[in-house]
Structure 1
Amino acid sequence: MEGEEEERRALVLLTAYVLLKRRRDLNNAHAQRRAEVQRRVRHQQHSFQRQRRMLMMMIAGGVRSDDRIRTRPWTTTRTTDWWERVAMTEFQPSDWLEKFRMSKETFLQLCDRLRPRLARQDTSFRLALPVEKRVAVALWRLASNVEYRTISALFGVGKSTVCRCVRDMCHAIVALLGPVYLQPPGERELEASAQLFLSKWGFPHCVAAVATLHTAIITPSDNASDYANPGGWLSVLTQVVVGGRGQFWDVCASFPGGTEPADVLQNSSLWATAADGGLSPASPPSFMGKPLRYVLLGEACYPLQSWLMKAYPEERGCHPVPAEPPRLFNRRLARALRSSSEALLRLRARWQCLSKRNDCGLDVVPTMILACCILHNVCESHGDAFRAEWQAEVAEAESPQPGHAPLPSTGVDQGRAEETRKLFCDYFQEQNM
């Protein structure tokens, strides 16, 4: 009897366990079903709101890329797959050049190079954006400087996603492409650049020009007065070195707009590199019968050095008129300095986030400037076309580039610098005769 009682008790316990397990499984299944229904409802609501925002923007004036309405068939697309269905399949070469400032071939190569830093894994909640779409979102921002909400509606992503795409791509460009497209030249590159300066600009024994670029910014939270440049507006000051091919060799983009260009130069790596002869072969080439290192050219706001030539001071008022050799030197120098001004103009015209006020934070702006300089070198080295109408857009920018006051010619290198500058005067005098 006791054995039968034990068996019945065990059977009752087993039955109760099975019933409890079945009830728990049913509850879990109902909870998962409710969660799935709620997730689908939220997704539909989000899609509806996004399409509604797109529709409202189309009604208000259409998607714009550069503050002008362009009558293209794809500008009225309201679906969130605009990038996959229209841009990647229907864009013509002129569309790629206009909207992304580069050819489709260069764009795809750029994506492949940045893939190690930009690729993301899918999660249980959403699919990761493809690298091509992330790069396209960021390039649209750099090329047009339009608001995040406009790009968000166009590509069907959130504004925070647009911000992350811009930040991530700029950092990836600096990390992966900077060592390739932005580095000091070797001896062959120096010699080729010197030949280009001589043949195109008529200035011998010169390999690069130093110039400055001011990028307008929003008012920073701290030390806003430091960012006021000579033009009276707030900016970040960038120093660039432009070679004979119109590409950048060195970029320093981290100084407030009120900083003197001479201070930027003396605190940059270029100063130490050039002073140690790093921009010239170990055996200096001959010039005017003397061994002389290659020189760089700069505006009057820079200090005169044996490796950095600038113009003679302009004589006015009661001072005597400068002799013909210095005047001739100044004219040839001004002509050669057009190499840097033209390169900066092409940079600002191609990437208009540098020609209009940039509303990104100060932690992003220097990296964005550096990334744009690298992208400039990428496009120039790949031979991508440059449109003249882009320069007209820069001419209409809110903030024209300010000028800097001349710096007196003083310093420990003054004697050698004057001797070097006189050699160039003699050269131009002989050529003129």
Structure 2
Amino acid sequence: MPCEEEEQLRPFMFLMTYMLLKRRRDLNNANTQRRGEIQRRIRHRQYFLQSQRRTLMMMIAGGMRSNVRVRTRPWSTTPSTDWWERVVMTEFQPSDWLDKFRMSRETFFYLCDKLRPRLARQDTSFRLALPVEKRVAVALWRLASNIEYRTISTLFGVGKSTVCRCVRDMCHAIVALLSSIYLRPPSEQELEDSARLFLSNWGFPHCVAAIATLHTAIITPSNNASDYANPAGWLSVLSQVAVSGRGQFWDVCASFPGGTDPADIFQNSSLCATAAEGGLSSALPPVFMGNSLRYVLLGEACYPLQSWLMKAYPEEKGRGSSTALTQPQRLFNGQLTRALRVSEEALLKLRARWQCLSKRNDCGLDVVPTMILACCILHNMCESHGDAFRTEWQVEVTEAESPQPTHKQPLTHSIDQSQAEEVRQLFHDYFEEQNN
């Protein structure tokens, strides 16, 4: 009887022995593979760190940019991938935040909190998501310096594709979440404040904004490249901006080819429609020179004269070498040119603070317009928060960039030319009275 039971159990025992041996072999193989994977990761990490160290040392030896002053702080030669966490977050001084991110530390974290709903990412099984603060820092570094993705990638220890994605995502998030706060139509109180500032700072009454153009240099597009050649001969994207008396942007129209006529952009813009319908004035227009008159905008010679858009008298040449303008007309032109400096200075500060707009932008045409809008919003945010602006940024831009193109006066006349001339005559008389 025991022999029969032993015979019956023998297949079962054989199966159990086989399964135990197989399990041991699988565990040994898994351990071998795990050790091999760990060794491979260690070698890959060592190679990556050595490559990164060599790259940073070469950058330090040659200088990241020829006109950047040499720093003496120890973190300037830090090649570690934890540079952001260990250096920026713990050792950056207020001047460092302003120099590298073009804003104060407080404004930086305010921006991160505002963009968190759109920029926050979940960790995955394969990698940890970049913190929102690091994503914003990567994108701001690019906007402020316009240096190559490769350099930013090495500095922050992320891939080039990650840098590109951070820039794109942050620009879209800024436009989506902050436009309603920092790039919106002005209230009646803001219109009154802007008119008061134009009068006190620039000597031009009854005016609330100045309109100007901005050309941003781009790489050669794949299609219709000739459309992007501006009057100066280089390729650009053309934007129209309206600047308040505080030097902040109220309205921005971007994404137009550099060869577009500014008058066409203006006449098809929402700003033109709003102004024509009286949207840039209070319900009861204020009185100017004894007349109930809506606030006006100021524009360059390339814009059409409107009853709510003043521009200079054209300096047509008469017989001989003298101009046909009278002395009061020249006085009006001089005051208007002076007031237009508010838009010139605002655009210069914009390009100096965010140098992706002052140098040739190598992003795609699907990104550049959003980047321009985002930079205008960031400019308004920094100005509203009282963040300092350094004059050396401005000097650097004026020395490095190509001059902005000059647009000619349009051939077409305004649809309400007679009424527009009557309004301009009121300002003409005002300045003549002031001069006398």
Q: Give the shorter-chain TM-score range.
A: over 0.9
Q: Does 1:157 align with 2:189?
A: no
Q: Does 1:396 align with 2:399?
A: yes
* 1:239 match: 240
| Cα pair distance change 1:260/1:110, threshold 3 Å | same
* 1:270 match: 271
The amino acid across from 2:420 in the alignment is: A
Q: Does 1:407 align with 2:414?
A: no
Cα distance in structure 1, aligned partners of 2:20 and 2:40: 30
Contact map agreement 1:304 1:409 (CA 8 A) in 2: no
Give the drift of 1:26.
4.1
Cα distance in structure 2, aligned partners of 1:204 and 1:147: 45
Spell out the pairing of 1:90-239 with structure 2 (5 A cutoff): 90-239=91-240
The amino acid across from 1:196 in the alignment is: L
* 1:79 match: 80
Cα distance in structure 2, aligned partners of 1:408 and 1:9: 102
When the two chains are superposed, the root-mean-square deviation of aligned CA atoms in Å is 2.1
| Cα pair distance change 1:153/1:320, threshold 3 Å | closer
Give the drift of 1:78.
2.1
* 2:332 match: 329
The amino acid across from 1:121 in the alignment is: Q
Contact map agreement 1:63 1:76 (CA 8 A) in 2: no
Q: TM-score, normalised by structure 2?
A: 0.93
| Cα pair distance change 1:409/1:314, threshold 3 Å | farther
* 2:89 match: 88
Cα distance in structure 2, aligned partners of 1:418 and 1:237: 29
* 2:370 match: 367
Cα distance in structure 2, aligned partners of 1:157 and 1:301: 45
More displaced 10-residue stretch of structure 1: 222-231 or 422-431: 422-431
Superposed CA offset, 1:89-126 (max 9, x none): 22222222222211111111111111222222233333
Cα distance in structure 1, aligned partners of 2:323 and 2:222: 49
Contact map agreement 2:56 2:77 (CA 8 A) in 1: no
| Cα pair distance change 1:62/1:313, threshold 3 Å | closer
Q: TM-score, normalised by structure 1?
A: 0.93
Contact map agreement 1:106 1:382 (CA 8 A) in 2: yes
Spell out the pairing of 1:271-350 with structure 2 (5 A cutoff): 271-318=272-319, 321-350=324-353
| SS of alignment partner, residue 85 of structure 1 | helix
Q: Does 1:70 align with 2:70?
A: yes
Cα distance in structure 2, aligned partners of 1:248 and 1:208: 9
Cα distance in structure 1, aligned partners of 2:392 and 2:96: 14
| Cα pair distance change 1:320/1:352, threshold 3 Å | closer
* 1:51 match: 53
Contact map agreement 1:303 1:408 (CA 8 A) in 2: no
Contact map agreement 2:315 2:323 (CA 8 A) in 1: no
| Cα pair distance change 1:320/1:125, threshold 3 Å | closer
* 2:358 match: 355
More displaced 10-residue stretch of structure 1: 245-254 or 217-226: 217-226
Contact map agreement 1:62 1:76 (CA 8 A) in 2: no
The amino acid across from 2:37 in the alignment is: A
Instruction: Using the aligned pairs only, state the percent identity.
Output: 72
Cα distance in structure 2, aligned partners of 1:3 and 1:80: 67
The amino acid across from 1:105 in the alignment is: E
Contact map agreement 2:52 2:79 (CA 8 A) in 1: no
* 2:434 match: 431
The amino acid across from 1:39 in the alignment is: R
| Cα pair distance change 1:390/1:58, threshold 3 Å | closer
Among candidates 378, 383, 386, match of residue 380 of structure 1: 383
Aligned residues: 431
More displaced 10-residue stretch of structure 1: 374-383 or 27-36: 27-36
* 1:35 match: 37
Cα distance in structure 1, aligned partners of 2:130 and 2:58: 25
Cα distance in structure 1, aligned partners of 2:107 and 2:154: 25
| SS of alignment partner, residue 192 of structure 2 | helix
Superposed CA offset, 1:366-399 (max 9, x none): 1111111111001100111111222211111231
Cα distance in structure 2, aligned partners of 1:43 and 1:153: 14
| Cα pair distance change 1:210/1:127, threshold 3 Å | same
Q: Does 1:420 align with 2:423?
A: yes
Cα distance in structure 1, aligned partners of 2:263 and 2:233: 19
Which segments of 5 or more consecutive residues in structure 1 lack a partner in the other structure? none
Contact map agreement 1:212 1:261 (CA 8 A) in 2: yes
| SS of alignment partner, residue 396 of structure 1 | helix
Give the drift of 1:17.
4.0
Cα distance in structure 2, aligned partners of 1:419 and 1:252: 29
Cα distance in structure 2, aligned partners of 1:250 and 1:229: 22
More displaced 10-residue stretch of structure 1: 119-128 or 207-216: 119-128
Contact map agreement 1:215 1:354 (CA 8 A) in 2: yes
Contact map agreement 2:135 2:166 (CA 8 A) in 1: yes
Superposed CA offset, 1:58-105 (max 9, x none): 23x1344x7434233232222222222222222222222222211111
The amino acid across from 1:142 in the alignment is: L
The amino acid across from 1:55 in the alignment is: M
Contact map agreement 1:62 1:69 (CA 8 A) in 2: no
Superposed CA offset, 1:243-302 (max 9, x none): 111000011110011111101112221121111111112222222222211111000100
| SS of alignment partner, residue 205 of structure 2 | coil
Give the drift of 1:5.
4.8
Cα distance in structure 1, aligned partners of 2:144 and 2:234: 22
